[in-house]
């Protein structure tokens, strides 16, 4: 089965959204946040520099955000961290990655932010369904608003607790959206794992894979629209 072109699919959905909203229908779209709307490597670099400062190391001296990895293990390998430091760095990462004050270091992914703005201009309510927790939600709202996105409080949907399983949580929230609206155009995320979970649980919203270096290797349904984006 040939790959479904995600960019073409999203463009056609924008046309469908305009048509439906002009006919009076209530329409929504949804996006993941981390590594979908924002590039978290800026946050990774900030965590790394804080680690250096606390431990008297210099792994991140002179490094740029683009040289960071997608998680603690990958980042530690990229900066050639010694094994005795890598374990401690992993603990630091876990503690700091979802700390709201650190979201300010993220870099915006222009293409997906532009898509969110186009969907809003077409008349859709734009939801942000994120694995970030509710306790950090004010930071998420501030970040998205700084990038020019409208975040009426109920449009940002965050996990109640970090330990909640992300695919199940997202499937539940997407199902709620489908029940609340006449039409939901899409759910965009870079995470193959999230899409695989959402599809397994039959959430009635079309998932679109933003395929980047962050996507992972989980299998998704063959008819999943794929938008290949080179996030350098």
* pLDDT score at 36: 97
Average pLDDT over residues 204-223: 95
Work out the end-to-end distance of the chain between its first and last CA atoms, rounded to an integer number of angstroms: 29
pLDDT at 153 over 80: no
Q: What is the pLDDT of residue 1?
A: 66
20-45 pLDDT tens trace: 999 999 999 999 999 999 999 999 99
Sole residue written with tokens 């649980």: 201
Average pLDDT of span 216-224: 95
58-103 pLDDT, tens digit each: 999 999 999 999 899 999 999 999 999 999 999 999 999 999 999 9
Overall average pLDDT of the 116-128 stretch: 97
Specify whether the CB–CB gap between 125 and 181 falls below 8 A. Answer: yes
Q: Per-residue b/e over 180-198, b at no fewer than 16 CB within 10 Å?
A: ebebbbbbbbbbbebbbbb
What's the rounded Cα separation, in Å, for the pair 58 and 63? 10
Query: Strand locations in 81-124, DSSP E?
Result: 107-108
Whole-angstrom Cα distance, residue 69 to residue 46? 12
Q: What is the mean pLDDT of residues 219-223?
A: 96
Query: pLDDT at residue 14 above 80?
Result: yes
| Section 144-162 average pLDDT | 89
Question: How many percent of the chain have pLDDT more than 70?
Answer: 99
Q: Is the pLDDT of residue 197 over 70?
A: yes
Alpha carbon separation from 25 to 21, 121, 124 (Å, rounded): 5, 15, 10
Q: Which helix (H) or strand (E) holds 228?
A: strand 225-228
Mean pLDDT to the nearest integer, 101-119 = 96
Model pLDDT, residue 45: 97
Q: For the residues 136-164, what does the mean pLDDT come to?
A: 91
Instruction: Give how far Cα 210 sits from Cα of 5, 112, 125, 192, 195, Å.
Output: 11, 9, 20, 9, 10
Instruction: Specify whether the CB–CB gap between 167 and 189 falls below 8 A.
Output: no
Name the residue among 169, 187, 168 with its Cα closest to residue 178.
Answer: 187
């Amino acid at each position: 089965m040939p790959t479904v072109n995600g960019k073409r699919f999203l463009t056609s959905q924008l046309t469908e959204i305009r048509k439906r909203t002009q006919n009076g229908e209530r329409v929504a779209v949804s996006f993941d946040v981390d590594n979908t709307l924002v590039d978290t490597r800026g946050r990774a670099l900030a965590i790394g520099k804080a680690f250096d400062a606390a431990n008297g190391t210099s792994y991140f001296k002179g490094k740029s955000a683009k040289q960071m990895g997608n998680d603690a293990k990958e980042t530690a390998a990229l900066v050639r961290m010694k094994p005795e430091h890598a374990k401690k760095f992993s603990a630091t990462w876990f503690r700091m990655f979802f700390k709201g004050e650190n979201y300010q270091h993220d870099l915006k992914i222009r293409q997906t932010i532009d898509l969110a703005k186009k969907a809003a201009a077409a008349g859709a309510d734009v939801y942000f369904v994120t694995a970030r927790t509710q306790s950090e939600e004010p930071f998420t709202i501030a970040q998205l608003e700084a990038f020019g996105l409208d975040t009426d409080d109920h449009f940002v949907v965050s996990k109640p607790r970090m330990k909640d399983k992300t695919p199940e949580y997202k499937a539940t929230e997407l199902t709620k959206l489908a029940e609340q609206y006449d039409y939901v155009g899409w759910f965009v995320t870079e995470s193959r794992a999230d899409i695989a979970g959402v599809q397994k649980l039959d959430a009635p919203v079309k998932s679109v894979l933003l395929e980047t270096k962050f996507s992972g290797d989980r299998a998704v349904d063959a008819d999943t629209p794929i938008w290949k984006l080179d996030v350098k």
